[in-house]
């Protein structure tokens, strides 16, 4: 089975943009120095017959971010700045999730079930609007 992407750069972008917001993003490796970034950004992503719907979605995300990165570079930015900014946004989402999770656990441990249900509904609606992972109420023993 062929590799899903033609370059390490596409793999790096996939790793970053296909993270569910609210999870901790991985550290950013440097862009591969042996690849011509302009060529990589101009090249289409190959879709294979055996690609699952999930893989197709991931490849669509990479295609979109390649276009955004290309525009950012044309405006004078650098690739490293682009991914550092994006990772910073993911870190903010992670921190928001972590704070909400701590509040959920506080309410859960205090036995405040009505407040907990309201909090989960409101918070998960907000997270869903942002495309983030959702809080899951722990089971009572």
State the average pLDDT for the chain: 92
The Cα-based distances of 25 to 7, 63, 70 in angstroms read: 21, 20, 22
Q: What is the pLDDT of residues 3-56, one digit of tens each?
A: 788 888 898 899 888 999 999 998 887 777 778 888 999 999 989 889 899 999
Q: Residue 35 is encoded by which pair of tokens?
A: 């690849």
Which residue, chain included where needed, has tokens 């295609």? 63
Give the pLDDT confidence score for residue 140 in this predicted structure.
Answer: 80
Give the pLDDT confidence score for residue 110 in this predicted structure.
Answer: 96
Could you state, in order of their start, the residue ranges of all structural domains in the chain? 8-129
Q: What is the pLDDT of residues 53-82, one digit of tens each?
A: 999 999 999 999 999 999 999 999 999 899
Give the pLDDT confidence score for residue 1 in this predicted structure.
Answer: 63
Give the pLDDT confidence score for residue 3 in this predicted structure.
Answer: 78
């Amino acid at each position: 089975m062929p590799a899903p992407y033609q370059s390490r750069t596409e793999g790096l972008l996939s790793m970053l943009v296909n993270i569910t917001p609210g999870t901790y993003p991985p550290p950013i490796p440097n862009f591969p120095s042996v690849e011509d970034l302009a060529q990589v950004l101009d090249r289409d992503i190959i879709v294979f017959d055996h690609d699952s719907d999930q893989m197709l979605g991931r490849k669509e995300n990479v295609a979109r971010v390649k276009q955004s990165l290309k525009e950012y570079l044309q405006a004078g930015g650098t690739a490293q700045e682009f991914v550092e900014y994006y990772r910073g946004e993911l870190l903010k989402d992670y921190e928001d999730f972590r704070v909400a999770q701590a509040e959920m656990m506080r309410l859960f441990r205090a036995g405040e079930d009505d407040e907990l249900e309201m909090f989960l509904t409101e918070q998960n609606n907000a997270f869903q609007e942002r495309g983030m992972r959702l809080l899951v109420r722990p089971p009572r023993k």
